[in-house]
Amino acid sequence: KNEVEQSPQNLTAQEGEFITINCSYSVGISALHWLQQHPGGGIVSLFMLSSGKKKHGRLIATINIQEKHSSLHITASHPRDSAVYICAVRSRSNYQLIWGAGTKLIIKP
Amino acid sequence: DGGITQSPKYLFRKEGQNVTLSCEQNLNHDAMYWYRQDPGQGLRLIYYSQIVNDFQKGDIAEGYSVSREKKESFPLTVTSAQKNPTAFYLCASSIFPRARGLTEAFFGQGTRLTVV
């Protein structure tokens, strides 16, 4: 079993829909990252959080440390949000990043 | 603008040849990382370096080599010993990961290597 599991693997939605991507992990962490990878391959960091909730524009990230679970939400989704969204956790024991396999999101106009 | 630059974006290599992927950062970051990404899988750590002239093997170091002669540069060589080198390679950098507080990682745009 992977230490970081994302769901769903693939998600297709219509423009304007509310999107939720989930990330569950099984190790002790010091931080959790949400990143976005566009079709060209470059990765951009969206959020880095260790507790609670963060919001940036239409993106919201939450984390529940007790349940070892995080969610990334996109409100009023748009075709330009189409990308792969990756969850990664920083291990508290060795400080390395452990990566989820990513969720491929397609937003149709 | 500060950032991390990988080159080239696309690279083709004949079987049996070594090839070196470049990664340069001007963020004054101590730590640099090389990851490999295969379809449907999470990123896997090849090598990382937390300080100049020092580097450590990651989870899949076999068939790869690195050097860290300068803080700004962390080139990755894919050797002929790497059995399945065709993949997408990502370089990242961050402040020293044991620093207090959260450490954000910055990524290059990646290099797609194809062995022909």
DSSP helix/strand/coil, B65: strand
The whole-angstrom distance between residue A85's C-alpha and the CA centroid of its chain comes to: 5
Of B42, B45, B88, which is closest to A41 when you measure between CB atoms?
B88
- Which residues have CB under 8 Å from A83's CB, separation 6+? A36, A37, A38, A39, A105
Indicate whether A15 pLDDT > 90: yes
Indicate whether A18 pLDDT > 60: yes
- In Å, how far is B51's CA from the nearest CA of chain A? 15
Name the closest residue on chain A to residue B108, using Cα atoms.
A42
Q: Which among A63, A99, A103, A104 is the top mutation candidate for probing chain B, defined by the most B β-carbons within 10 Å of its own β-carbon?
A: A99
- For residue A2, the model assigns a pLDDT of 79
Q: Are strands B19-25 and B4-7 parallel, antiparallel or unpaired?
A: antiparallel
From chain B, pick out residues whose CB is under 8 angstroms from the CB of A30. Answer: 102
> Which pairs count as long-range contacts for A78-81, CB under 8 Å and 24+ apart, including other chains?
A78/A15, A78/A107, A79/A15, A79/A107, A79/A108, A79/A109, A80/A107, A81/A19, A81/A105, A81/A107
Indicate whether A41 pLDDT > 50: yes
Cβ atoms A107, A77 nearer than 8 A: yes
B107 touches chain A (CB under 8 A): yes
Positions in chain B short of pLDDT 50: 99-102
Instruction: Kindly state the average pLDDT of the residues A37-60.
Output: 89
Of A33, A44, A101, which is closest to B40 when you measure between CB atoms?
A101
Question: Does A41 contact B90 at a Cβ distance shorter than 8 Å?
Answer: yes
Cβ atoms B69, B51 nearer than 8 A: no
- For residue B41, the model assigns a pLDDT of 79
From chain A, pick out residues whose CB is under 8 angstroms from the CB of B110. Answer: 40-43
